[in-house]
Amino acid sequence: MTRSLMLMLTLGLGFAMAQDQEYVAWMKAAGGSMGPLKKALDAKAGKEAAEHAKKIEAAFAKIEQYWAGKNAPDAVKLAQTARNGAKEVAAAAEAGHTDHALQSISAITSTCKSCHDAHREKAADGSWKIK
């Protein structure tokens, strides 16, 4: 019985660590697309901007699922807000309304600090950990 319990705990911990690594990758994908998105919007390149916004939207859909699995309703709501903002930016950019899309970026970025403050902490080595 003890061996089985230890195995289950070890597997569960391994799964949680892998899931956290995926989460970090999704966050980096979303964050890494913000600069190119803004640059494309500034250049009035609607199609290119829409592609970046769709990448952000897809990342936040996964981020939303991650937080739902952690039973963190505040983080789920923030991820939904960012995802919906990215969707709005993509639609506006595709329609050629790059000025509106540029103004709508705040619907994505306004969620970042709130979620980071609530759900991450700085480790002693300077890295960030998910709370």
What is the tally of structural domains in the chain? 1
Place of tokens 């897809």: 58
Residue 99 has a CB neighbour count (10 Å cut-off) of: 11
Average pLDDT of span 72-99:
96
Is-above-0.85 flag for pTM?
no
Quick check: is 79 in a domain? yes
pLDDT in tens, 102-120: 999 998 998 988 998 999 8
Residue 49 lies in domain: 34-120
Rounded to an integer, the average pLDDT of 44-49 is 97
Let me know if residue 113 belongs to a domain.
yes
Q: How confident is the model at residue 89 (pLDDT cuts 50, 70, 90)?
A: very high
The model's confidence at residue 19, banded by pLDDT at 50, 70 and 90, is: low
In a domain, 103, yes or no: yes
Judge contact between 37 and 52, C-beta under 8 A: yes
Strands (E) in 1-131, as ranges, are 120-122, 128-130
Structure tokens at 84: 């919906």
State the first-to-last Cα distance of the chain, in angstroms, to the nearest integer. Answer: 31
Let me know if residue 97 belongs to a domain: yes
